Chains A and B, each alone.
Chain A
Amino acid sequence: DIQMTQSPASLSASLEEIVTITCQASQDIGNWLSWYQQKPGKSPQLLIYGATSLADGVPSRFSGSRSGTQYSLKISRLQVEDIGIYYCLQAYSAPFTFGSGTKLEIK
């Protein structure tokens, strides 16, 4: 099974700050990586697909990048509405696996 190692587990940042979350895949998954945001008490929502493409309706301050088997989600200017838990997901091969999540809070 492909393991997705996500870091950090939690993150506290100030408004307007740049935030970066990473996922390391245990093997090559190409661009089969997506990012999800789960706001408190809500269902997950798709943010990024194909490692770098922004999903419809997602603010442009969110972006995704890839370097080999390391994937990053960047929030360029943190806003209050961005608090929640972020997950990566590899859909390269079953069993599909999520990262362990990053809890993002406002400092």
Chain B
Amino acid sequence: EVQLVESGGGLVQPGRSMKLSCAASGFTFNNYDMAWVCQAPKKGLEWVATISYDGSSTYYRDSVKGRFTISRDNAKSTLYLQMDSLRSEDTATYYCARASGLRGYYVMDAWGQGASVTVSS
């Protein structure tokens, strides 16, 4: 069974840092690109970042470029999101998602339960 389990969320002050982790199991982690998707309270889904299967390529939404870093440790089957210079508008639930190519189409076919991040003084 595919499992993605996020950890590391909580309350953090504006301007500080936080690192999320996502432990993957039930599939060959280093065969898949991975992504982070966030959802602000009572709002819709927003793609945050994607990393290629081998970590060689990363992509970010504009609002987090230069502040967030997506990375992975394939030996540990773990995905990370380092979030620096946090702002109140970063408050959200952050989902880890597996990115697959189904019949050549890029989709997010497995999701974690989410990690809640609250940025407030």
The interface of chain A, by Cβ under 8 A from chain B, is 31-32, 34, 36, 38, 43-46, 49-50, 53, 55, 85, 87, 89, 91, 94-101
Contact = CB atoms under 8 A, between A and B. Distances in A.
Given A95-B62, A96-B50, A98-B44, A50 B114 contact: no
Contacts, number: 66
Interface residues of B, number: 23
B109 A55 contact: yes
Contacts of A45: 111
B73 interface: no
A43 B107 contact: no
B105 A34 contact: yes
Contacts of B59: 94-95
Contacts of B102: 49-50, 53, 55
Interface of B: 37, 44-47, 50, 59-62, 95, 102-109, 111-114
Contact of A46 (B61, B95, B108): B108
A44 B96 CA distance: 11
B82 to A, nearest CB: 19
B114 A43 contact: yes
Contacts of B105: 31-32, 34, 49-50, 53, 91
A91 B45 contact: no
Contacts of A49: 102-103, 105, 107, 109
Interface of B is mostly: strand
Contacts of B50: 94, 96
B55 to A, nearest CB: 17
Given A53-B103, A95-B61, A95-B62, A101 B45 contact: yes
Nearest to B6: A43
Given A43-B111, A43-B114, A98 B103 contact: no
A68 to B, nearest CB: 18
Contacts of A55: 102, 107, 109
A38 B113 CA distance: 12
8 contacts: A46-B107, A50-B103, A50-B104, A53-B103, A55-B102, A85-B44, A89-B47, A101-B44
